[in-house]
């Protein structure tokens, strides 16, 4: 097999061409197109709300990146370029559904009403995510690649057994598809027909490694071998992502088992603020993807169809400014955690040994205060 047969990745001449399987409802130019298997009914009001989410989430991301550069965050994992995939998926979730994110799903978090500051606190080094995963139905971030996919399947098996109405949505990257845990999750989901949807954001890179280091076939085609359908959607087309994910979640909820969704997109930024992509990819690649921006096409469509005017966009910009200011202030004013909080919640039932250690810790720190007073 030559690499030309693969049809994906920078090693191929058709790079950035996702192939005929790509499901699209809104072109990069902002034109609505029809698809034989997927359609979407969406009101102008909903479209404006989607645009608002896209724009605000991008603004959160830009602000967080700036905060990291100014030393306020330890690190930030940017979602730049992946807003369409995430807002589309987030909009498809119903109240009873449970989402299992990686560390990059700030857009889905936004749709789940997670306060951005509760995400920022993780990247600032204050905690491991401050939101309530039970109340928001948005699990805590999982940094260990792929581990959450099995959790999503287990949660779905629980829904199957306790009469729940929901389904789970498991997020992971292209790189994660190589992990054993992720492949095991496919097998379990398939064997138990679990109500789970696998949502893979193929942003073309796992840190420095392009997709062909993980796969010799388009990722969505792998699903077939595990025994469930796989589809490839334009990840920068929020409407197509919403339609495809909604249909897959519906199928899962109605006992038709899992679906694998490959959201074909591009990581426009560095892997994280610690990364330097100039070491492994060409700027021209990014230029090509800029033309497929997920937000610009919605804006173009809103204008073209007369659903939004200049006032609307100015209003969103103003709201984004306010949000950014709130995030900035909330971040710089965020208190450091109490040092002895490290002993809290290690166990549901605290052990005597750890209680003693925590007491020793407190005593040791108090001794410095005493020494200072005496000095």
State the residues that interact with Mg ion by CB under 5 A.
173-174, 203, 206
Is residue 117 a contact point for ligand TPP (CB under 6 A)? no
Is residue 122 a contact point for other proteins (CB under 8 A)? yes
181 or 250: whose CB is closer to ligand TPP?
181
Closest CA to 319 of 327, 329, 331: 327
Sign of the alpha-carbon torsion through 49, 91, 117, 63: negative
153 or 244: whose CB is closer to other proteins?
153
In the complex, minimum distance from the CB of residue 248 to ligand TPP, in angstroms, rounded to a whole number: 20
Is residue 144 a contact point for ligand TPP (CB under 6 A)? yes
119 or 157: whose CB is closer to ligand TPP?
119
280 is catalytic: yes
* Of the candidate residues 213, 222, 299, 328, the single one contacting other proteins (CB under 8 A): 213
What is the enclosing helix (H) or strand (E) of 98?
strand 98-100
What is the enclosing helix (H) or strand (E) of 199?
strand 196-202
209 or 319: whose CB is closer to ligand TPP?
209
DSSP3 helix / strand / coil % (the chain, rounded to 5) = 50, 10, 40
Number of Cβ within 10 Å of residue 64's Cβ equals 27
* Of the candidate residues 24, 203, 273, 331, the single one contacting ligand TPP (CB under 6 A): 203
Is residue 336 a contact point for other proteins (CB under 8 A)? yes
For residue 263, the SS3 value is strand
Q: CA-to-CA distance for 35 and 41, rounded, in angstroms?
A: 13
Q: CA-to-CA distance for 253 and 300, rounded, in angstroms?
A: 34
From the list ligand TPP, Mg ion, other proteins, none, pick the one residue 154 interacts with, judged by a Cβ distance below 5 to 8 Å according to partner type. Answer: none
Is residue 151 a contact point for other proteins (CB under 8 A)? no
Residue 233, strand partner residues:
23, 263
**Looking at 84-92, 116-124, 143-151, 356-364, which segment touches ligand TPP (CB under 6 A)?**
143-151
CB neighbour list of residue 370: distance below 8 Å, 6 or more residues apart = none
53 or 174: whose CB is closer to ligand TPP?
174
Q: CA-to-CA distance for 86 and 106, rounded, in angstroms?
A: 8
From the list other proteins, ligand TPP, Mg ion, none, pick the one residue 104 interacts with, judged by a Cβ distance below 5 to 8 Å according to partner type. Answer: ligand TPP
- Tokens 């942003």, residue located: 203
Closest CA to 53 of 42, 64, 41, 61: 61
Mode of pairing for the β-strands spanning 196-202 and 168-173: parallel
Catalytic residue selected from 246, 271, 297, 301: 271
Is residue 176 a contact point for ligand TPP (CB under 6 A)? yes
**Looking at 12-20, 220-228, 321-329, 341-349, which segment touches other proteins (CB under 8 A)?**
341-349
Q: CA-to-CA distance for 170 and 260, rounded, in angstroms?
A: 10
- Contact, 128 vs 140, CB < 8 A? yes
107 or 175: whose CB is closer to ligand TPP?
175
Mode of pairing for the β-strands spanning 230-234 and 259-264: parallel
Q: Is 301 exposed, middle or buried (0-12, 13-18, 19+ CB in 10 A)?
A: buried
* Of the candidate residues 49, 62, 66, 207, the single one contacting ligand TPP (CB under 6 A): 207
35 is catalytic: no
In the complex, minimum distance from the CB of residue 266 to ligand TPP, in angstroms, rounded to a whole number: 10
Is residue 268 a contact point for ligand TPP (CB under 6 A)? no
* Chain contacts with other proteins (rule: CB under 8 A): 74-75, 103, 122-128, 143-145, 175-176, 178-181, 206-209, 213-214, 274-275, 279-280, 336-339, 341-343, 346, 353-354, 357, 361, 364-365, 368
Q: Which residues are catalytic?
A: 267, 271, 280
* Chain contacts with ligand TPP (rule: CB under 6 A): 104, 143-145, 173-176, 203, 205-207, 267, 271
């Amino acid at each position: 097999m030559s690499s030309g047969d693969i049809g994906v990745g920078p090693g191929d001449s058709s790079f950035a061409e996702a192939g005929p399987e790509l499901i699209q409802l809104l072109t990069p130019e902002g034109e609505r197109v029809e698809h034989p298997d997927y359609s979407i009914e969406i009101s102008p009001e909903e479209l404006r709300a989607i645009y608002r989410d896209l724009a605000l989430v991008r603004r959160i991301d830009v602000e967080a990146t700036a905060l990291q550069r100014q030393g306020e965050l330890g690190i930030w994992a940017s979602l730049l370029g992946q807003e369409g995939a995430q807002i589309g998926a987030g909009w498809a979730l119903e109240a009873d559904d449970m989402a299992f994110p990686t560390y990059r799903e700030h857009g889905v978090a936004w749709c789940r009403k997670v306060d951005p500051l509760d995400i920022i606190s993780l990247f600032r080094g204050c905690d491991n995510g401050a939101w309530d995963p039970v109340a928001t139905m948005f699990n805590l971030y999982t940094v260990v690649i792929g581990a959450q996919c099995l959790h999503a399947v287990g949660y779905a098996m629980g829904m199957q057994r306790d009469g729940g109405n929901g389904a789970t949505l498991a997020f992971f990257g292209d790189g994660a598809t190589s992990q054993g845990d992720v492949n095991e999750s496919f097998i379990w989901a398939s064997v138990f027909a679990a109500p789970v949807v696998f949502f893979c954001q193929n942003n073309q890179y796992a840190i420095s490694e392009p997709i062909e280091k993980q796969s010799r076939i388009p990722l969505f085609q792998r699903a077939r071998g595990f025994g469930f359908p796989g589809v490839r959607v334009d990840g920068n087309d929020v409407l197509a992502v919403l339609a495809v994910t909604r249909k897959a979640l519906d199928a899962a909820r109605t006992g038709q088992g899992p679906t694998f969704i490959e959201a074909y997109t591009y990581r426009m930024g560095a892997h994280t603020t610690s990364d330097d992509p100039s070491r492994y990819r060409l700027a021209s690649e990014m230029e090509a993807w800029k033309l497929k921006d997920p937000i610009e096409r919605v804006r173009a469509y809103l204008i073209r169809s007369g659903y939004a005017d200049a006032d609307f966009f100015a209003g969103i910009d103003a709201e984004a400014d306010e949000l950014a200011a709130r995030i900035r202030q909330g971040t710089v004013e965020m208190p450091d955690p109490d040092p002895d909080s490290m002993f809290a919640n290690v166990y549901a039932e605290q052990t005597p040994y750890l209680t003693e250690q925590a007491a020793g810790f407190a005593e040791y720190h108090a001794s410095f205060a005493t020494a200072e007073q005496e000095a």
